[in-house]
Amino acid sequence: MKQSFLLIFTALLMASCSKVLEEKPKSIAAELFYNTPTEVEAGLNAIYTPVRGSGTMGALYQCQQEIYGDYLIGRGSHAPLNDYNGLDNTNITRVGDMWSAFYQGIRNANIVIQKAPAGKELTPAQLQRYLGEARYMRALYYFFLVRNWAGVPLRTETNMDTINLRRSTQEEVYSYILADLEYAEQNLGDAPRLIGTPSKWSVKAVLTDVYMNLLQYGKARDKALEVIQSGKFSLVNVTVAADFDKLFGPDIATSTEEIFYIKYARTPSGQGFAYPQYCHYPNSGYYPPGGFYTFYSDSQQNSFIKNWDKNDLRYSFNWYSQTFGLGPATILNKKFSDKGAVTAGGNDYPMYRYADILLFYAEAVAQADGAPSADAMEKLNMVHRRAYGKNPTAADATVDFKLADYAAKQPFINLVVKERGYENCAEAKRWLDLKRLGIAQQTILAVKGKTMTQRHLLWPIPTIEYNYNTAIDPVKDQNPGY
């Protein structure tokens, strides 16, 4: 069932806490709480909670990243993001809340990493897997922090109660991320503990992404190939646009493409995905509880949208026309829709899926080897075929790109980046790609006609950090322009 992970999470947490609360109603002793598998798993589940809310991965993180990209325009309080001049007071507060959520998740991971080794009823194999999961999640949160803020304080299981911590360098943060992921890769199994928790293949997916961001393309290529050659994953077949709901729909528990998703469900209360509410127009039918239509695009003025082949099924799956005073070419994104929602959406957030790995691999081959290979082109074509309703694994001359037409490195990379933009539309991945490739400023100028300032490329270290952490100077240690 779609709700399985969330129901088990709630049950484990309530069962574990109620036992301790009955014995010691005024306090929970951490050293007593991490003795049994049930108790440790409740602690693991708590690592996911802080970032699942609407203030971070549940909605606002995606809104922020998507408006930064080249195909959407923000409305209302998100409109200042369109200026590409950093953040105003409202949006600074929002990203400050995201900082806090990531660090709360890191703290919850640190507690498990610190306390679980003393558990009296855990087998060595259980302990290794639990620590692998905790270190994976800690690395993942630091990966989000370092890409959006650059260097950040490294809070670990040994210093998590120390307030005053210097801002580590970007290189130090990435080294820490790699150490955690390498441990997790060795200690997590083929299958996740629960749907929505990581397997070793989830680790390899994140390692691929980390290596891409470090421009270590040979390592990224090899790690992506491990996932591909595992045979564990495949692209979901589609024949009509609506079939993409087999990937993104609210009633899908999992699929052959899922590598690591943040899981949501309409029930129990408080477990829904809020992002659809930010995407849709009220009474559009795509999200019955209503909608904020926080962002929109223009099918005639935006070149990314205008140049998107309308025979590509992803186009009709992603967009619908909706006029609200901004002209007849106004369109809204409908990738994440839940027509059966009553109070909350049931869609999951696809952080890493098989299509990501295929496209990472294709780009990494060209980046590392100086030119694309036939295999790199095949992996790109697999994603492209599926977009046109074709069998991903069967060559099709009607839609396949030809290697001879993209034999040089840069034309092929440009093609992959364009394909990834179409494939990952609305998934909060485009902006990070543009930054990683060093083409954010030129892309925004070309597509939106906006000149981006340097300060827009990073979020500021929030006041909630340097007001209490005296090891960070609010001027000298701040990101440029803030």
Q: Which pLDDT score is estimated for 269?
A: 86
Position 25 confidence tier, pLDDT thresholds 50, 70, 90:
very low
Chain mean position to CA 119: 32
Position 24 confidence tier, pLDDT thresholds 50, 70, 90:
very low
All structural domains of the chain, each given as residue ranges with its CATH number in brackets, are 200-262+353-451 (1.25.40.900), 275-333 (no CATH)
Q: Which pLDDT score is estimated for 3?
A: 58
Give dist(CA 61, CA 241) in Å, integer: 26
**Is 18 exposed, middle or buried, given 0-12, 13-18 or 19+ CB atoms closer than 10 A?**
exposed
Give dist(CA 15, CA 224) in Å, integer: 39
The tens digit of pLDDT for each residue in 173-221 reads: 999 999 999 999 999 999 999 999 999 999 999 999 999 999 999 999 9
Q: Which pLDDT score is estimated for 2?
A: 67
Give dist(CA 339, CA 288) in Å, integer: 6
Given a cut of 70, whether residue 26 has pLDDT beyond it is: no
Q: Between residues 159 and 21, which one has the greater pLDDT?
A: 159
Given a cut of 80, whether residue 293 has pLDDT beyond it is: yes
Q: Taking the CA of residue 222 as centre, how many other CA atoms within 13 Å lie in the half-sphere pointing to its CB?
A: 5
% of the chain with per-residue pLDDT over 90 = 92
Q: Which pLDDT score is estimated for 101?
A: 98
Give dist(CA 369, CA 239) in Å, integer: 35
The tens digit of pLDDT for each residue in 332-349 reads: 999 999 999 998 899 999
**Span 62-90, mean pLDDT?**
97
**Span 448-469, mean pLDDT?**
96
Given a cut of 80, whether residue 322 has pLDDT beyond it is: yes
DSSP-assigned beta bridge partners for residue 319: 333
